[in-house]
Amino acid sequence: MLILKSSVSKLLFVAFILMIGCRAKDDFPGLEYAPNMYHSVPYEGLSQITDESSGKWLSNREDGKGEYFNSNPNNPHGMNLREPVDGTVKRNMSGYMPYRVHKDSVDLAARILKNPVEKSDEILSDGKQLYSVFCQACHGSQGKGDGKVGEVMLGVPAYNVGRVKDVPEGHIFHVITHGKGRMWPHGSQITIEERWKIVHYVQQLQQLD
């Protein structure tokens, strides 16, 4: 019993020493494995470390400053990230603005949206290829609603019949983006430019007899 108590005491003592060793204080972060994985060396976007000696115990910087010093003194608000100019709207790398029309506003989309992608044989070819990947399984190769999945689901409309034949480009784009009825949204899978290419191809299928 005495041996057991002695062993427990030793274990508790070791645990206490380890806890003390891991305690961080001031510029000492405690015991860390690969500290550069915990502390960002590049600039942090939303915060600044203004103490030039922060992390100096680890630093190998040529300017002699601490490893964790990452402030840009020219930026305001205690951030390294520069705020966008007032009134600007973020665009993607292709120059398109985010699509903000609400999912329930298909009629609005039909009225106001115009295809920014100029129609050409190359664009139609791209649209056909994208259509075959994302749309053909339900809508069929000629947009008649007779794809393999469409045959099972039933009720997939044909593009060249009834009111679907006359829906404008904005309507088509909106439905691809947000979905409609049993059709799920594809905005997260297909880029804005690719959606407009598909619109061109779908409009071609609308004209088939």
> Do 124 and 74 share a structural domain?
no
Q: What is the pLDDT averaged over residues 157-175?
A: 94
Q: What are phi and psi of 183, to 5 degrees?
A: -80, 125
CA-to-CA distance for 64 and 49, rounded, in angstroms? 15
Q: What is the pLDDT averaged over residues 66-88?
A: 78
Amino acid at the residue 64: G
> Do 194 and 137 share a structural domain?
yes
CA-to-CA distance for 129 and 148, rounded, in angstroms? 17
CA-to-CA distance for 112 and 104, rounded, in angstroms? 15
| pLDDT tens, residue by residue, 170-193 | 999 999 999 998 899 999 999 999
pTM of this prediction exceeds 0.85:
no
Structure-derived torsion over alpha carbons of residues 14, 15, 16, 17, reported in degrees to the nearest 10: 50
> Do 68 and 112 share a structural domain?
no
| pLDDT tens, residue by residue, 39-71 | 656 667 777 888 888 888 877 777 888 877 877
CA-to-CA distance for 153 and 169, rounded, in angstroms? 25
> Do 113 and 62 share a structural domain?
no
CA-to-CA distance for 179 and 16, rounded, in angstroms? 59
For residue 11, tell me if it sits in a domain.
no
Domain that holds residue 121: 106-206
